[in-house]
Amino acid sequence: MSKSRMEAFSDGVLAIIITIMVLEMKVPHGDQLADLRGLWPVFLSYVLSFMYVGIYWNNHHHLLQAVHRIDGKILLANLHLLFWLTLVPFTTGWMGENHFAALPTAIYGLDLLAAAIAYFILSHGLLKRHGQDSALAKALGSDFKGKISVVVYLIAIPLAFVHTAISCGLYLAIAVLWFFPDKRIERALG
């Protein structure tokens, strides 16, 4: 089974998610700086989510590069990942409009956690089909970033009810961690 349509469909969904998120930033009616200022939290949450969706696209791209075989279960695991990512515009909008209030910030983290788990299921499903000696296995290695992300989300979510700045700082830290291009996969493929 060809992986190209799965890539094309995922590219499409991710491209649309990243673009419709901006629709949550409603055009203000006034034309003054004060009108823009009210949009800060929505803008910040947009930037954070843009980074995350960009990272997922980037990692998905890298992951699929090393893949030779896909089947029906992989297509489902991919749809499962896309499901949690399609909720990002909603969780982003809710967090932004409520100025990073506790519950919306926790729910945002829950969505990131669910997407991280879905990505883990997808990548390990692929790993099982390619074997421990495959380029994919070498590329994923110990999947340190994937594991640390899940741990950090699990810490950040309850902390939203202590202070949301801590949770947002942790979400941002994970985004920055991933933003450094993944040398392992590039090296293993190179």
- Of 40, 16, 43, 38, give the one whose Cα is nearest residue 28: 38
C-alpha angle 49-118-130 in degrees, rounded to nearest 5: 125
C-beta closer to a copy of itself: residue 93 or 109: 93
Give the whole-angstrom CA distance, residue 125 versus residue 70.
9
Q: How far is the CB of 150 from a copy of itself (least distance, A)?
A: 22
Whole-angstrom distance, CA of residue 81 vs CA of residue 167: 22
Shortest CB 152 distance to a copy of itself, Å: 21
- Dist. CA 116–CA 19, nearest whole Å: 21
Quick one: 40 or 83, whose CB is closer to a copy of itself?
83
Q: Which residue, 38 or 151, is less far from a copy of itself as judged by CB?
A: 38
The site for a copy of itself (CB under 8 A) is made up of 1-2, 5-9, 11-25, 27-33, 36, 47, 50, 54, 57-58, 61, 65, 71-73, 75-76, 79, 82-83, 86-87, 89-90, 93-94, 97-98, 101-104, 107, 179, 181-182, 186, 189
